[in-house]
Amino acid sequence: MSRQRVSGQRVSGQGVSALLEMRGVRKSFGSQVVLRDIDLVVEPGQCVVLIGASGSGKSTLLRCANLLETVDDGVISFEGEDICDPRVDADRVRGRMGLVFQAYNLFPHLTALGNVTLALRKVHGVDRGEADERGMAMLERVGLAEKAGARPDDLSGGQQQRVAIARALVNGPGLMLLDEVTSALDPELVGEVLDLLTGLRDEGVTMLLNTHEMGFARDVADTVCFLHDGMIHEAGSPEQVLGAPQQERTRAFLSRLRT
């Protein structure tokens, strides 16, 4: 572990200490190029929102950041370390990020509390008593303390997604990655999840997420990035990108959403 830590190089050139920084990231599946030349910076405490049509590469970008996919080229530095270096211990990096999936991906054989505490106990070496305590506190935070003993199958979609957020959050990640966390939910359940995320942003949790909820993006984002065909075509404040888009493609995408 220590050897791997030493081998990770510091790559953030500028004085600013970006938490996550992508430079020239490229990823393809077979002959299909999904990410072409991604440059992206997430500062601590920021909320960066990726928007774009289905298939534009948003989910792949998050999975690359979590090392669930291996990039073809480019540098991803997290907390100052190039995590694409094959000598880096990917499990250690993933343990410092939280990833929430579109389809929740809760473990069906474990209770809500069991889901939340698994990584605490097995990855972070917290003993059962303390893990349960921290897990309960986190379930309390997402408003599901009374569901601690319930299996995922007995929870609604919105509740499952909140458990999934708690599961990622309880490990104290430096960065939360959220992959279209509301797109599998009924409209009335979307609200409870988005309210939770807004609360997290206000608490200063750093987030990189993609969404189709433009209203939510406008409310929470510090930076909005518009992805099209594996490239970030436009990035800036939500007022800029959503309110007064400069690029033709961004305008076209947003106008399709409104009609």
Partner 1 sequence: MSADGWSPSAVQLDREAYRQRRSVRSAAIAAASTTVLLGGVTLAVVTSPGWERVRETYFSWDKAVDSFPAVLDGLWLNIRVMVVCAVVIVALSLTVAIMRTLRGPVAFPLRLLGTVYVDVFRGLPLLLVLFLLGFGGPALNLSGLPRSALFWGCTALVLSYSAYVAEVFRAGIESVHPSQRLAGRSLGLSSTQTLRHVVLPQAWRRVLPPLMNDLVSLQKDSGLIAVLGVVDAIRAAQIETARDFNYTPYVVAGVLFICLTIPMARATDWYARKQGFHGAGGMV
Residues that bind partner 1 (CB under 8 A): 66, 68, 91-92, 94-99, 101, 103, 105-109, 118-119, 122-124, 151, 153, 167-168, 171
| Residue number, 39 or 69, with CB nearest to partner 1 | 69
Rounded CA separation 253/145 (Å) = 40
Least spacing, CB of residue 98 vs partner 1, in Å: 8
- Report, in Å, the least distance between residue 124 CB and partner 1: 8
User: What b/e sequence results for 10-19 when a residue is b if at least 16 CB atoms lie within 10 Å of its CB, and e otherwise?
Assistant: ebbeeeeebb
Least Å from the CB of residue 91 to partner 1: 5
Min dist CB 45 to partner 1, Å, is 22
Between 46 and 66, CB nearer to partner 1: 66
Minimal distance, residue 182 CB to partner 1, in Å = 17
Q: Smaller CB distance to partner 1: residue 37 or 89? A: 89
Cβ closest to partner 1, residue 78 vs residue 253: 78
Residue 184, phi then psi, degrees to nearest 5? -100, 5
Q: Of the candidates 57, 151, 171, which has an alpha carbon nearest to the alpha carbon of residue 104?
A: 151
Which of residues 65 and 224 has its CB atom nearest to partner 1 in the complex? 65
| C-alpha pair distances (Å), 117 with each of 128, 158, 186, 197, 243 | 8, 20, 27, 20, 41
Rounded to an integer, what distance in angstroms lies between the CA atom of residue 34 and that of residue 58?
9
Comparing CB distances to partner 1, the nearer of 72 and 89 is: 89
Rounded to whole angstroms, how far apart are CA atoms 231 and 102? 22
The least distance separating partner 1 from the CB of residue 107, rounded to whole angstroms, comes to 6
Could you give the 3-state DSSP secondary structure of residue 186? Answer: coil
Residue type, 37: D
